[in-house]
Copies of this chain bind each other. A is one copy, B any other.
Amino acid sequence: MARHIYRCPLRWSDMDAFGHVNNVVFLRYLEEARVDFMFRPAPDGVTSSFTEGTVVARHEIDYVRPLVHRHEPVTVETWVTRIRSAAVTLSYEVKDYAAGEPAVEGGERPDVLYARASTVIVPYDLDAKRPRRLTADELAFLEGFLDGRDEGREKSRALVA
């Protein structure tokens, strides 16, 4: 299980009149993390099929702590929590690592968490204008980031079986 780590730069204008990063802007950070996820670790074919062939079907986001503009990026961790034949759920944490670095495996991780969120992505055939199934390449890529804590992985296995 891997998590995709994106160091998301803030903009001064992300703050609203209350002097905090506005709640809506967090969804922009998730968008940037998704774009990075689909471009950097993904193989080329998956990048193009994702970029041109998916739509956002749902977001959930819980705000944990206010975030104020600073020059250092904030970290967005992205991973996969559920794979269906025609839907993928990505989960995220928007946070700062305590020491500015990912904690060693098994070690304590006293991160400063700003938000937890998830997004349901639906593969979509833009020409035919209807949902499509995940391709085998997409499935293989997504499985590498799957951490469903039991249910996600099994169902995914069933899909490719």
Q: Mark A residues whose CB is within 8 Å of B.
A: 9, 11-13, 15-17, 19, 22-24, 27-28, 31-32, 35-36, 39-40, 55-63, 66, 69, 71
Contact = CB atoms under 8 A, between A and B. Distances in A.
B57 A62 contact: yes
Q: Is the interface of A mostly helix, strand, loop or mixed?
A: mixed
Given A12-B35, A13-B28, A24-B27, 7 more contacts: A11-B32, A12-B16, A12-B31, A13-B24, A17-B19, A24-B31, A39-B71
Tallying the copies of this chain within the complex gives 4
A61 B57 CA distance: 8
21 contacts: A11-B32, A12-B16, A13-B22, A13-B24, A13-B28, A13-B31, A15-B16, A15-B17, A17-B17, A23-B27, A24-B27, A24-B31, A39-B71, A40-B71, A55-B63, A56-B63, A58-B61, A59-B59, A59-B60, A59-B61, A60-B60
A57 B16 CA distance: 16
Contacts of A61: 58-59
Q: Which 3 residue pairs of A and B lie closest in terms of their CB atoms, listed nearest first?
A: A15-B17, A24-B27, A23-B56
A22 to B, nearest CB: 6
